[in-house]
Structure 1
Amino acid sequence: MTDRILVLGGMGRIGSSVAQDLANHVDAEIVVTGRQLPRHEVDSRFSFLLLNLADLEALDKAISEANVVVHCAGPFHYRDARVLKTCIEHRVNYVDVSDHRSFTQKAIAFQEPAKRAGVTAVINSGIFPGISNSMVRQGVEQFDVPEKIHLSYVVSGSGGAGLTVMRTTFLGLQQPFKVWIDGEWQKINPYSDREIVQFPPPYGKTGVYWFDMPEAFTFVDSFPVKTVITKFGSVPDFYNLLTAFVAHRWPESWLKNPGVIEFLANVSYKMTNVSDRFSGIGVAIRSVVTGQKDGKTLDYCSTLVHENTAIAAGYGTGSIAQQLLSGELKKPGVWPVEQVLTTELFEQAMQSRNLKIEQEWG
C-alpha cells in the first residue's frame, strides 16, 4: 500500500511549501486540506481534501488513513491539541509548525500518552522555530559547558507567508512573557530592548527585539544554560518601529481584541504586498552559543540566509516528516525539534536541500 502524508492547512503559504518539499523528497501520496475549495488549480502531485478541523468525525477519518500528519493550520495561539490527541489514538506520527508557547505546553502534556502509543510527535518545526532550534543544538554540542544562547531572526517584509503569520506576529504582542536570564525566570515585554545584530548579506546590521517564541523556554529544558535570548526583527526597519509602537503605545484591551488583531494583520499584509517588491521575502537566522571549551570562554556563531522564508520553513518541516515516514526519526513522545532531531540527521536534511549554514568561532 502507498504511504500517505496528510498536510492540514496545506493550501496556506507555509502548508503548501511543506507539501512541495515533500513532493520533491518522498514517494508517498500527499493529501493537502483546506476549509474551502481551492481558488486555483492544486499541484498535480497532491490530492485535495475539503476539511474543517471543527468537524471531528471527518478529522478522525482523515487522520486514521494517514501514516504521518503535518499540522500547518494556525494560528496556534487559538488551537488545542485535538489533532495531536487524535494522532496518538490512531498511532500516527505527527509534526507541526506551531510557534507559540501556549500550544507547546498543551502538546507536551501528551508526552506519556504518545510514548505509550509508540507515536513520535515533533512540535515547533519550520524555519524559526525549527531549523533555528537545530542550529542551536549544533552549537551547544561544541562546548564542554554551554552557558548562553542568543538566537536572532530577521524577515524581509511578509517572508512570503500569508495572513496567518501576520496574525501570529500581533498575537505575540498581547502580554509580557517569561525568559531565562542568569539562571532565573524574568518577565519581559514583547518587542522591547532593541538590539542591533550583524546578520550576513544582504541584511547586515539589523534591529531585533524580544519576541515570545516557544524555544525561549524549551531550550531551558533541552540544554544546561544560564541564559536564553530570542529576538526578532523585520526589514524594512519602519515595520519594526510600527510594531514597537503598537506593542508599547496601544491599550492592552485593544491588543486582546480579535477584531483589532484581524485589522492589524490585514493592513500589514497589504503593506508588505507592496514593500515585498523592494525588500524581498527572505529570512536570516543568527545563533550564538557562548560557553566553556578547553578551559576558555568562546562563542560559536552559525548563520543561515534564504531568499524565501516560506520555502525555508517547508524545508524544515518537510524534512522531519520525511524522516518520520522513513523511520529514520523515531523517538516516541512529544518533543520540540532540538530534543529529538540529531545533528547528523539535521545536517543530512539541509545538505539534501542545498541549504547552507555558515559557522565560525569567536
Structure 2
Amino acid sequence: MTDRVLILGGRGRIGSSVAQDLATHTQSEITITGRSPEIGRGVSFCMGEQVKFLVLDLAEIGRLQEAIANSNLVIHCAGPFHYRDANVLKLCIEEGVNYLDVSDHRSYTSKALNYREQAAAAGVTAIVNTGIFPGISNSMVRQGVEQFDQPEKIHLSYLVSGSGGAGVTVMRTTFLGLQHPFPAWIDQKWQTVKPYSKREIVEFPPPYGRSGVYWFDMPETFTLPHAFPSVKTVVTKFGSIPDFYNHLTWMAAHVFPKPLMQRRAMIEFLSYVSHFMTDVTNRFSGIGVAVRSEVTGQKNGETAVYCSTLIHENTAVASGCGTGSIAQLLLEGKLNKPGVWPVEEALSTDLFEYAMQSRKIKIHHHWL
C-alpha cells in the first residue's frame, strides 16, 4: 500500500521543502494543507502529481482529525510554534499516527514532551524539532558527544544568510524569540540569559569565516542537557549575514520598549519589513546556513574538543532535508521509538549519517 503523508502548513517555504524532499526520496502520496484554495493553486505543477493540496484550517478539529486518520504520518510545519498548542500531536496519538514537526520554540516543545507516556502507550513515534536548527544540529551534537568518555560542554552556533530562503513566519519566530529572558544550562545550573546578548565571534567554514553570534532561545537549550546529563554547560547562539542585521536585531531586543515588542502588531510589522529587506540583500548575501557544533569533554584522561561544521546554500531546503530524511526512515520502518522525543534522543548516529549521505549533505569533523 502507498504511504500517505499529511504536511500541515505545507505551502510555506519550510513545508514546501519537506514535501519536495519526500517527493524526491519516497513514493508516498503527499497531501499539503493551507487555509485557502488560492494558496494551493499550482501545487501539482510545482511539485508533481505525487503532491496534492487540501484546504484545511487547524481550528476545524473534525476535519483535521479526519485528515490525520487517513494518513500514515503527519508532519507539522504550521508555525510560528510560539502560538501553537499540542492538539495536532494529541490527535495523532488518538488515531495511532506517527508525528514529526519543525517546531523551534521551547514552549511548544515542552507541551509536546508532556505527551511522551501517552504516545508510547499508543505505539506512536513522535519526534519534535526535526529541521536544520533545531534538527540536524542536534544530531551533530550527538555525534560529538559520542566521541567522549565524558562530555562536559556543548556550544552550538548558527548563521543564516539573509532570509535563509524562508518566509515571513521565520521572521516572526526571530522577533518572538527576543521578547523574554530565558533559562540556560550553565555550570550545572539554570541561569537566566538575555536574548541576543554576549556577542561572540565564531569561525565558520568558507564562505562565512569569522562571524558574530548571540545568545538565542532555542528548544535545544533545554533538551540537550536532559539528553546528555553529564554535560555542565549548553550554549546556543545565532547570527545573521550581513552583519548589520545583527545590530538591528540587538536593538529590537535591548532598545525597543518591551511592551511594544510584545504586541502582535509590532511583531508583524517588523517581520514584513525584515522580509522586504532580506529580499534585497539576498541577491548578494545568498540564503545559506552554517552550523557549528563544538563539544568539549574528557577522552582518554585528557580534555579535548570535537568540532563539527555544516554549510548549505539554502536554509529552507536544508530544513526540508532534516525533516524529510527522518520521515523517510519512519515510513521505511528503520526508525521506531514510541513516545515523544527531541531528535537527538530519537535518531541514532548511524541512521543520521545514513540520512545525510543520502541527501549529499557533508558534515566536516575535526579535533581542536
TM above 0.5: yes
Aligned to 1:19: 19
Counterpart code for 2:266: V
Provide the C-alpha distance between the structure 2 equivalents of 1:165 and 1:3, rounded to a whole number of angstroms.
29
Pairing partner for 2:273 from 267, 273, 296: 267
Note if 1:169 corresponds to 2:174: yes
Q: How many residue pairs align between the two structures?
A: 362
Pairing partner for 1:310 from 303, 310, 316: 316
Counterpart code for 1:27: Q
Note if 1:330 corresponds to 2:336: yes
Provide the C-alpha distance between the structure 2 equivalents of 1:245 and 1:297, rounded to a whole number of angstroms.
38
- TM-score, structure 1 as length reference: 0.99
Matching of residues 99-248 of structure 1 within 5 Å: 99-223=104-228, 224-248=230-254
Contact 2:40 2:53 in 1 (8 A): no
Provide the C-alpha distance between the structure 1 equivalents of 2:204 and 2:72, rounded to a whole number of angstroms.
39
Aligned to 2:79: 74
Aligned to 1:319: 325
Aligned to 1:9: 9
Q: Give a deviation string over 1:107-138, Cα, whole Å, max 9, x none.
A: 00101100000000000110000000000000
Provide the C-alpha distance between the structure 1 equivalents of 2:324 and 2:151, rounded to a whole number of angstroms.
30
Which runs of at least 4 in structure 1 moved beyond 3 Å after TM superposition? none
Provide the C-alpha distance between the structure 1 equivalents of 2:35 and 2:134, rounded to a whole number of angstroms.
25
Q: Give a deviation string over 1:320-351, Cα, whole Å, max 9, x none.
A: 11111111110100000000100000000000
Provide the C-alpha distance between the structure 2 equivalents of 1:55 and 1:71, rounded to a whole number of angstroms.
15
Provide the C-alpha distance between the structure 2 equivalents of 1:3 and 1:227, rounded to a whole number of angstroms.
41
Provide the C-alpha distance between the structure 2 equivalents of 1:298 and 1:36, rounded to a whole number of angstroms.
54
- Match of 1:138, SS state, is helix
Aligned to 2:28: 28
Pairing partner for 1:295 from 294, 298, 301: 301
Q: Give a deviation string over 1:137-194, Cα, whole Å, max 9, x none.
A: 0000000000000000000000000000000000000000000001010000000000
Q: Which runs of 5+ in 2 are unaligned?
A: none
- Match of 2:82, SS state, is coil
Provide the C-alpha distance between the structure 2 equivalents of 1:282 and 1:22, rounded to a whole number of angstroms.
21
Q: Give a deviation string over 1:215-272, Cα, whole Å, max 9, x none.
A: 0000010002000000000000000000001100011101110000000000000000
Q: Which runs of 5+ in 1 are unaligned?
A: none
Note if 1:277 corresponds to 2:283: yes
- Match of 1:175, SS state, is coil
Counterpart code for 1:4: R
Task: Give, in angstroms, the shift of residue 40 of structure 1.
Answer: 4.4
Contact 2:34 2:40 in 1 (8 A): no
- Match of 2:305, SS state, is strand
Provide the C-alpha distance between the structure 2 equivalents of 1:170 and 1:36, rounded to a whole number of angstroms.
26
RMSD value, Cα: 0.7
Q: Give a deviation string over 1:267-312, Cα, whole Å, max 9, x none.
A: 0000000000110000000000000000110000000000000000
Provide the C-alpha distance between the structure 1 equivalents of 2:36 and 2:142, rounded to a whole number of angstroms.
39
- Match of 1:310, SS state, is helix
Contact 2:289 2:312 in 1 (8 A): yes
Q: Give a deviation string over 1:23-44, Cα, whole Å, max 9, x none.
A: 0111110111111222641122
Aligned to 1:250: 256
Note if 1:48 corresponds to 2:49: no
Provide the C-alpha distance between the structure 1 equivalents of 2:291 and 2:41, rounded to a whole number of angstroms.
33
Note if 1:361 corresponds to 2:362: no
- Match of 1:77, SS state, is helix
**Identical amino acids, percent of aligned pairs:** 67
- TM-score, structure 2 as length reference: 0.98
| Shift in alpha-carbon separation, 1:82–1:211, aligned structure 2, 3 A | same
